Amino acid sequence: MSLGLKELQIDATPNAHASKILSPDVLQFLLTLHKEFNERRLFLLRERERQQQDFNRGVFPKFKTVAAKSWKVTAIPLDLQQRTVEITGPADRKMIINALNSEANTFMVDLEDSLSPTWHNVLQGQQNIFDAVRGKIDYEENGKSYRLKEETAVLIVRPRGLHLQESHVLIGEDEIAASLFDFGIFFFKNAKHLLSKGTGPYLYLPKLEDAAEAAWWAEVFHFSERHIGLPPESIKATVLAETITASFQLAPIIFELRNYIVGINCGRWDYIFSYIKKFHSQEDCMLPDRNTVLMSSPFMEAYTSLVIQTCHRHGILAIGGMAAQIPIKGDDARNDIAFEKVRLDKVREVQAGHDGTWVAHPAMVAVAREAFESYMTTANQLQKPISNRVITEHELLQANLGEVTAAGVMDNIHLSITYLSRWLKGQGAVAINHLMEDAATVEIARAQLWQWRRNHVFMADGQRLTAQHYKELKEQVLQKIPAVDLLDTHTNTAIALLEELVTAREFIPFAISLAYKKLTDEKFN
C-alpha cells in the first residue's frame, strides 16, 4: 500500500482509518523522525544488551548523580498539578469515553501494555484519540449511547517503548520504531488543538532504563516542537520508573528531561519484571510467588520511597502504582474485599508521600480519591517536608523473601496462556481472577517460570522445579482448559509461545516482542 512517499511503505491491508490518520503530512513527519532519531535509538538498545552482559556476570547497577551544580525543572502546567486519581486503559472507543467521564483527574490512554498492537487497534486508537481531543467521540452498544460530559479528565498518551517496532510501516528495509510512530501521529495530529484548548500534548514515557534514554526523548520533543512551530516546552511528560536500572538514575533522568518532565510514576508490575529480567542469571535474586511480592516488600518500599524523595526534591509529582482490581458482580462479600484492598493500597501510598495514584476501572475512582483526600487536603504533597532517609543500593537490590509453591507455578502458567491467547485475538487488557491484567503481568509470570525452572528452585513442598516437574505441573493446568479452547488457534499458539519462553536456553528479553511476530506473521489482525 503506497501513500505517496517513495521511502515509506505501509505493509498492511487497507484500513478504514489509514487515510484519515496516515495523511501525507503525518507520514512525512514520521519519516523525518526516523531519519533524525532511529540510529541513536538503536545505539541505546545495543547499550541495553551490553549492560545485560555485565549483569549476567554478576555486576549490579550503581547510583549515578547529576554533574551540573545548578538546574531546575520547568513549571508544571495548571491542569497537571492535581493528579490525585489517574485512570488508565487501552485506546478503544468505549474505554476512552468512560475513562474521560470517570471523574478521575487524568486519563492515560494506553498504546502500550494494555493494547494488543494489531494494525486495526493501533490506527483506531489514534483515531479515537483524535476524536476525543476534539470532544467528538461517541459510541453505541446494545442500545446504549456513550457521550462525553462537559467536564472530563485531562488526557495523557502512553506510546510504546523504545524496544518495539511497528512492523506495518517500512522505511527502506527498516521497520519504524513504535515509539516514534505512536508519538509522531499523536503529536502531529493533536498538539496544536490541545494547546488551543488550554491543555497540551501530554505523554507518559514507558520503560526508560537510564538517563541517556531520557535525553533521547528530550531531543525528540525539542525537535518536534520546532518542526511544527510550537512554543518551546509545550510537551509535558511523566516518566514511568518501571525498570530497576532507572531507579539508580532518577535524578539524572529528571535532569535530562528538565524542560518537559512533570512527574514520575511507580510502574510496579514492570519494575518487578525488570528486576527478574536484569538479574535472571543470579540465583540470589529469585523472587517468590508473584502474588507475595507486594509494595510493602522491602525492595519495593525502598524504590517507591526513593521516587517520592527524588521527585519532591526537584519539584515534580510522584504518582503511585496501579490498583488492578475491578468490580466483582454478583458477590457482594468478595466485591467489598476488592474495594477494601484498593482503599488500603491507596492509604499506604498517600501516607508514604505520593501525590496521586492509578486505577484500572471507573468504579475504583471514588474509593481511591476518598483514601487520598483523607490524608491529602491540597492538590499535591510538594510542600511537605522531604524525608532525609538515605536509601542504599543494597535496599533496592535485596530480593524479596518467600516461597515458591506449586500453586504459584501453575498460576503463572494459567495466567500466561490466558493472557497471551486473548492478546493474540486483539485484546490487551484482560480480566483474570477479577484483576485487569496487561502485558506487564504476563512478563513477570513467564520470567519467573524461566528462572525457577532454569535454577531448579526448591519449592515449599520440598521438591525442586526440574524440567520434568515443570512439565507435570503444566499438564495439570492444560487439563483444566476447556476442550473447546484447546481447539482454538490462539490458545494453542499461546501454549507454544509460553513453552518457547520458558524452555529457551537464553532468557528472552520481552515476551510481547516474540508474540508480536506471531500476531503479524500469522495474520491474526
- Could you identify the residue written with the cell 501453575? 410
113 and 40 in one domain? yes
Q: What is the pLDDT of residue 351?
A: 98
Establish if 288 belongs to a structural domain.
Answer: yes
Consecutive H or E run containing 510: none
Task: Report how far Cα 265 is from the mean position of its chain's Cα atoms.
Answer: 10
394 burial class (0-12, 13-18, 19+ CB within 10 angstroms)? exposed
Characterise 309 by phi-psi region: left (phi > 0), alpha (psi -120 to 50), beta (else): alpha
Kindly report the CATH number assigned to the domain that includes residue 455. 1.20.1220.12
Domain membership of residue 332 (yes or no) is: yes
pLDDT tens column, 38-75: 999 999 999 999 999 999 999 999 999 998 888 999 99
- The segments of the chain whose pLDDT lies below 50 read 1-4, 524-525
Q: Which of 174, 191, 203, 37 is nearest to 111 (CA)?
A: 203
- Look at residue 69 and tell me if it is in a domain: no
Q: Is residue 63 part of a domain?
A: no
What residue numbers bound the domain in which 486 lies?
403-521
Cell 519449592: give the residue: 459
Q: Do 342 and 413 sit in the same domain of this protein?
A: no
Number of domains in the chain: 2
pLDDT at 1: 41
Q: Which grid cell sits at 449?
A: 517460570
Last residue in a domain, options 375, 394, 413: 394
Is residue 379 domain-shared with residue 423, that is, in the same domain? no
Neighbouring C-beta atoms of residue 446, cutoff 10 Å: 27
DSSP per-residue string spanning 91-158: S-HHHHHHHHTS--SEEEEESSTTS---HHHHHHHHHHHHHHHTT--EEEETTEEEE--SS-PEEEEE
Rounded CA gap, 394 and 376, in Å? 31
- Domain assignment present for residue 3? The answer is no
Whether residue 42 is contained in a domain is answered as yes
Q: Is residue 161 part of a domain?
A: yes
CA distances in angstroms from 335 to 234, 339, 434, listed in the order given:
42, 6, 9
CATH assignment at residue 130:
3.20.20.360
Active site residues: 158, 438
What cell does 316 get? 515534580
Domain termination site, one of 353, 376, 394: 394
3-state secondary structure of 49: helix
DSSP 15-31: -TTHHHHS-HHHHHHHH
Residues 376 and 424 reside in one and the same domain: no
Identify the helix (H) or strand (E) that includes residue 440: helix 439-454
Query: What 3-state class would DSSP assign to 10?
Result: strand
Query: Where does a domain end: 394, 419, 438?
Result: 394
435/386 same-domain check: no
Is there a contact between 465 and 456 (Cβ–Cβ < 8 Å)?
yes
450 and 363 in a common domain: no
Q: Do 174 and 309 lie in a common domain? A: yes
Q: Which of 507, 295, 314, 505 is nearest to 400 (CA)?
A: 295
Classify residue 465: in a domain, yes or no: yes
- All three cell numbers of 517, joined, read 511476530
Place of cell 517503548: 161
Residues 19 and 138 in one domain: yes
Give the global pTM. Answer: 0.96
Note whether 390 and 456 are same-domain residues: no
- Separation CA 91–CA 114 (nearest Å): 9
Query: Do 444 and 308 fall within a single domain?
Result: no
Claim to verify: residue 195 and residue 233 sit in the same structural domain: yes
Sequence-separated (6 or more) residues with CB below 8 Å from residue 65: 251, 252
pLDDT at 525: 43
